[in-house]
Amino acid sequence: MNRLALSRVIGHRGAARLAPENTAAAFRRAAADGAGWVELDVQLSRDGVPVVFHDETLERTTDGRGRLVDTELSELRRLDAGRWFAPAFAGERLLTLEQTIALLLQLGLSVNIEIKADETRAAATAEVALELAGRLWPADRPPPLVSSFSRRALARAAQVVPDWPRGLVSDGWPADWRRATRRLGCASLHVFHPELTPRRVRAAKETGLAVLSYTVNEPALASRLWLWGVDAVFSDDPGLLLVADANPEAGPH
Ligand code: G3P
Ligand code: MG
């Protein structure tokens, strides 16, 4: 635990290795496997509705075609978002953020909302998604952690839900991490795991930032990152890492 009240394992896109990512099945699986937190990706449909979806285009994870931002919600609702993963998940639907929040509250899950948008849409996506989330999320539950690769999105998040923690996501170690996180009022830095070193983790934590790392699916890697002081790892198989965390002597080191 740290000041964000994070758990050490966050289900990535729910539990993306075990169920179709960012769907109800994935969030239910994360909860069933003991995850306290899940991460999800949010974008806007063509008609401006926040939906939970990772890719820019529909082909990989649905039976639709084209760009998500060019597709109306009514059309997105008709897509099959599960069959690509396995026949048993056929009929799984793409969810709106509103539907997803209702499900997460029912499941008792905390959430990291990652705002996904190109720079031309980042601020608008953050504004619309977080105004909605801000209305729906109960004040007596741990607030969502809002993250993004986009600094514009985080700057807008600071205006819309100023009291919710913010995290800067980066595939590389940002040369200006100290200045950027201070300017954006970030509580955390979320970094692709090969970019982390003990020295980098220590330096970030000394400034008061929590350090989160993605995507970690091997217990031995998670153990190493936790040893370095990483606060939480995003995993496609959160249950696997939770078991390893509970039985550290059983896993390889
Ligand atoms: O937020 C951590 C991680 O999800 C960032 O990368 O591409 O999986 O959304 P991506
Ligand atoms: Mg993500």
Task: Compute mean pLDDT per 10 residues along the chain, 253 residues long, and list them.
Answer: 78 98 98 98 98 98 98 98 98 98 98 97 98 98 97 98 98 98 98 98 98 98 98 98 83 49
Q: For ligand 1, is residue 236 a contact (CB within 6 Å)? A: no
> How far, in Å, is the centroid of ligand 2 from the Cα of 75?
23
Spatial distance between the Cα atoms of 160 and 4, rounded to a whole number of angstroms: 19
The model's pTM: 0.97
List pLDDT tens digits, range 142-172: 999 999 999 999 999 999 999 999 999 999 9
The minimum-distance atom of ligand 1 relative to the CA of 41 is: 9
The per-residue pLDDT for 245 is 86
Among residues 78, 38, 40, 87, which one has the least CA distance to residue 58? 78
Ligand with the closest atom to the CA of 52: 2
For ligand 1, atom 3, which residue shows the shortest CA distance?
A: 214
The Cα-based distances of 54 to 39, 40, 51, 85 in angstroms read 11, 8, 10, 15
Q: For ligand 1, is residue 114 a contact (CB within 6 Å)? A: yes
Among residues 122, 127, 131, which one has the least CA distance to residue 149? 122
> How far, in Å, is the centroid of ligand 1 from the Cα of 213?
9
List the catalytic residues: 12, 54
Backbone angles phi, psi at 44, to 5 degrees: -105, 135
Domains in the chain (CATH in brackets) are 9-250 (3.20.20.190)
The pocket of ion ligand 2, defined by CB under 5 A, consists of 41, 114
> How far, in Å, is the centroid of ligand 1 from the Cα of 17?
14
Cβ-based neighbours of 74, under 8 Å, separated by 6 or more: none
H or E element at residue 112: strand 110-115
List pLDDT tens digits, range 216-235: 999 999 999 999 999 999 99
